[in-house]
Chains A and B, each alone.
Chain A
């Protein structure tokens, strides 16, 4: 990616090409140098001149909490990338260096991972991420048209942002692959919450409302917040217990979800009854 795509990265993307001297503060914590694995996995220390000072104490504390979940630090990489994305609004060079240092890999290794996954964005995006499913089934039922209409309405294409990134009512649009809600097609998501059974008109009305600063409730999912807050949840931080409780209790079952249940109830159909008590478990051969 060129630095023109990403002004925030410009000055630090490659310090070798900048005229100004590198400040000491830009060199990350010397106690935790980035390591470079060789074939023998012998760590080689290389200073990385990227300012990870943008990550505050709270983010660093959360990063440690994430690391503590896993037996091996590198397993924390995906949630850490969600965390830095939540902190900065995208995965920056500094974000990748920060994560790399924490899990003991090179920035290059972290970059190969960050760029592999579609949910990690390399440019700052909107308050809302609108993902329209354009996989075959949704597309056949109107998903392609919904996407085309939203592109026009918002004046952007795939991964384009209407409004200044991060500003109130700003929207990043993307076409998405199958979102696992095919019985409710065509679907779209806002910040990964489901809006089911959409039409081009309902989708346009939805983005209009978001642009105005309203937050229409999802069909299935918790009330909308900022996309960066969603990313924090993906990193495993769901807020206060009460907050989580309310979000958890937000609607999830569409009539389609319960279609089979309702029919079975109507017809009086049941699965064969289980025995009253669990039958004895099979005997196993003596262990040799």
Chain B
């Protein structure tokens, strides 16, 4: 196999001076795809994205073109009825918050116009005239950059009425969130955008039929939409020169933790951790112990899995998920039960409380893990944890519950002895041992 290299596509402009401005963007082929797109039939664009095999970059990997194709469209010459008679909305999920994930924030900061251009093309393809970009509230600089890009696009005639004389109208509203991980779940995001608590909705009906204001809605991740202009310019065959048959295209891998050069690395889907670590200068402070392929909701992997292809299929085959390609890498200094406890505390805090398995389950899981880390646990706690996980996985309302059990079940799968050792440190399992702090590590 030839050496695999990085393939900067989405990140290509990032190092350019003032990459976030309209001037830089248009100098570097910005808004050229828009002209091509507006001259086409919207259905051709949906077909193009289907042909490209682009899959959602927000974690689930659902085929984007298929999602767009689910939007009910009125048949020509017929009076639209049902959902097709309602307005269609495009909603961008820019509520990045999955632990380890840090790709959409730098993408929006460095190249917000690629998102705006992607929104216009997508809006045209699905026949939406109003688009919301739901940006996580805590990243105000990102919000500022997106807001400013939208302003610039309006002033240049790329947004508003009759865009570039095409007869197509689109407005974009930039909306700031208010601090809720759950709002990253697409139906919870819609609830939040409707001024409600960010609680998920039962599916079906899916947002494509009944989304925002119960009207047909496409919800896409930032990186997904930013890919669209490149696919229009390069074509689906070009897009497929990167990645694998079922997971084509380039992807931003965010490498963090105990590595020499953490950061954003855009590579073809299917690259391995071994290759990525090589590019990032190798491990720091000792050999690899465990890692996540795509955020804390994707089951942990170990040093055995360094050659797993990081695409949707490869990660799943290894018993994990590709998620958001947030590659968090931990060396031997980090205690697995401690890390799992910290993540579980996160899920407990962020559980929206709508469904019982997740609300109660994360609460109890946290207490058991805290007790174990305090060395007050017993070996039966390990089974207890797995039993509770079993009652959450697949039984909660949305994927938050499934994500919450991922670190626990995978942590126990690969590092059961470490959990048991914590119990063994406590003679008789009853007396509280002298607390020695379990931590992460030295920097």
Contact = CB atoms under 8 A, between A and B. Distances in A.
- Answer whether A and B are interacting partners: yes
Nearest to B267: A260
B99 A177 contact: yes
Contacts of B62: none
Contacts of B7: 269-272
Interface string A182-207: 11110001011110000100000000
B95 to A, nearest CB: 10
Nearest to A274: B234
Contacts of B43: 284, 287
Interface string A133-148: 0111101111010000
Interface residues of A, number: 90
A263 interface: yes
A48 interface: no
B279 A260 contact: yes
Given A136-B342, A253-B14, A258-B263, A142 B141 contact: no
A107 to B, nearest CB: 14
Interface string B332-351: 00100001001100100110
A135 B342 contact: yes
Interface stretch (A50-58, A73-81, A164-172): A73-81
A176 B15 contact: no
Given A137-B328, A221-B140, A257-B263, A177 B175 contact: no
B439 A180 contact: no
A117 B139 contact: no
Interface-central residue, A117, A191, A253, A278, by most chain B CB under 10 Å? A278
Nearest to A85: B178
Interface in B26-80: 33, 36, 40-41, 43-45, 47-48, 51, 75-76
A258 B266 CA distance: 10
A182 B264 CA distance: 10
Interface in A214-267: 220-222, 230, 233-236, 238, 244-245, 247-250, 252-253, 255-265, 267
> What range describes how many residues of B lie at the interface?
35 or more
A183 B280 CA distance: 11
Given A178-B100, A274-B233, A74 B194 contact: yes
Contacts of B262: 182-185, 256, 259
Contacts of A263: 6, 265, 279
> For B12, B33, B148, B296, which residue has the most chain A Cβ atoms within 10 angstroms?
B148
A123 interface: no
Given A136-B342, A258-B15, A287-B43, A252 B20 contact: yes
A257 B339 CA distance: 25
B405 interface: no
Given A112-B197, A183-B256, A233-B140, A260 B443 contact: no
A130 interface: no
Contacts of B397: none
Interface centre among A253, A271, A278 (most CB of B within 10 A): A271
29 contacts: A71-B130, A74-B195, A79-B175, A113-B195, A119-B137, A136-B296, A137-B100, A140-B440, A178-B346, A193-B140, A221-B140, A222-B140, A233-B144, A235-B176, A236-B147, A245-B148, A248-B144, A252-B20, A253-B14, A253-B109, A253-B110, A256-B261, A257-B263, A261-B264, A264-B6, A281-B48, A282-B48, A284-B43, A287-B76
Of all A-B residue pairs in the complex, the 6 with the closest CB atoms, nearest first, are: A140-B440, A259-B263, A77-B195, A118-B179, A279-B235, A117-B178
Interface of A: 69-72, 74-79, 81-82, 103, 105, 112-113, 116-120, 131, 134-137, 139-142, 144, 176-185, 189, 191-194, 199, 220-222, 230, 233-236, 238, 244-245, 247-250, 252-253, 255-265, 267, 269-272, 274-275, 278-279, 281-284, 287-288
